[in-house]
Amino acid sequence: MSMVSVDNNAYVLHMPSEVTASAENAVMDAYARSSPGSIRNLILNFSQVECLNSAGASLLVKLYVQAKQRRQLLKAVGLSEHYQQVFVLIGLNRAMLVDLGGADTGAKAGRPRDAAHWAKPVSRLKVPGMPTQAINLNVEGRRVVGPIQGFGPMWQKTYRVRLGATATPLEVIKILKEDFPKFQPPENRFYPSEGGIKPGEVVLINGSTPVGLICTGVIVLYVDDESFTFITPQGHPLSGWVTFTAYEDEGCTVAQVQGLIRSGDPLYELGFRVGGSKAQENIWKHVLAALAKQLGVEAQVDMEKTCIDSKLQWSAARNVWHNAQIRTIIYSVGARIRRVVGLVKR
């Protein structure tokens, strides 16, 4: 069966059984070959999907962006209950119509292979027990937001470092999961919850920026033996997710960080344009360089970036209400005032 067919004045894109990074070229090429003409409806058929990972989620976001540029109405059909939950979790249910009937074949016939790897969708985030030194701020009670919900242009940024044969890809991911906070630059403090890097767990972030302390966090979106992904909550400088993976290339292990991101609100977008974007990029370069150093490798971190969607989403300008930088500054000023008042009362 062809990957693309026409049915009732709609293009039908039949998704492969594995929606992963390896499927991206085939899916995007098939979509590119389907001339829109007068047909403005695009149906994504998920009835044969048995596995979808975070790289596959990025593929679906890119497909949504292209369909939006073609002014096509996007609809997903054949989604099992599990994939309906994934769509809610990553915000794709807001980007396209979702047929809630479920799949008659494929994924519905058995439990999807990725079911245990995804976090469960929640209406509001709850932060579990954290180290006492962590400032728990701007995560509790928030919603998760993916690259569709942000304000600024959408970017895919990819960072890679070649580690030789010092460790296998599985070993590299294991090291990153266990030692992730120690690879951060000095100005960043990452505090994983007691559950560690597992689906649905929280990592609090207390970082330093040119305008002061920022307290926010990330949620562990997806985890398997070969990768893990963080997604941002409301108020984070970025709206989207970042995936850490490792793979073999001609006998060399390559560690990779890839983000599909956009700024969270207009103030963050302004900050990124005057230097914040470079600072953000330096964080992931530092992480990979620190990983390489721990493995005894002195290697250059390469970066490439692609603009997926150049438009600003002014409908998301109100995200500034949750801006973690502003709220942290208010919290810090308030804490100082409370300390001064406490000293005066003594």
Calculate mean pLDDT across residues 169-176.
98
Q: Does residue 265 share a domain with residue 149?
A: yes
Helix, strand, coil % in the chain, rounded to nearest 5: 35, 30, 35
What is the pLDDT, as a whole number, of residue 81?
94
Q: Is residue 132, in this structure, part of any structural domain at all?
A: no
Q: Note if the pTM is more than 0.85.
A: yes
Q: Does residue 190 share a domain with residue 288?
A: yes
Q: Is residue 344, in this structure, part of any structural domain at all?
A: no
Burial readout 268-296 (b: 16 or more C-beta within 10 A, e: otherwise): bbebbeeebbebbbebbbbbbbebbeebe
Q: Does residue 166 share a domain with residue 84?
A: no
Tokens of 224: 């398997």
Mean pLDDT of the chain: 93
Confidence band for 337, pLDDT divided at 50, 70 and 90 = confident
Q: Does residue 160 share a domain with residue 99?
A: no
Residue ending a domain, choose from 98, 117, 136: 117
Tens of pLDDT, residue by residue over 22-34, are: 999 999 999 988 7
- Cβ–Cβ contacts within 10 Å for residue 75, how many? 16
Domain count, the chain: 2
Confidence band for 114, pLDDT divided at 50, 70 and 90 = very high
CATH number at residue 169: 3.30.530.20
Residue 102 has pLDDT above 70, yes or no: no
Q: Does residue 187 share a domain with residue 276?
A: yes
Pairing label, strands 41-45, 11-14: parallel
Q: Is residue 169, in this structure, part of any structural domain at all?
A: yes
Residue 156 has pLDDT above 90, yes or no: yes
Expressed as residue numbers, the domain containing 165 is 144-331
CA distance 310 to 302: 23
Calculate mean pLDDT across residues 125-144.
94
What is the pLDDT, as a whole number, of residue 345?
67
Angle between helices 81-90 and 54-69 (to 10 degrees): 70
CA distance 260 to 271: 18
Q: Does residue 80 share a domain with residue 177?
A: no
Tens of pLDDT, residue by residue over 53-85, are: 999 999 999 999 999 998 999 999 999 999 999
Q: Is residue 72, in this structure, part of any structural domain at all?
A: yes
Residue 106 has pLDDT above 60, yes or no: no
Residue 206 has pLDDT above 60, yes or no: yes
CATH number at residue 93: 3.30.750.24
Q: Does residue 327 share a domain with residue 207?
A: yes
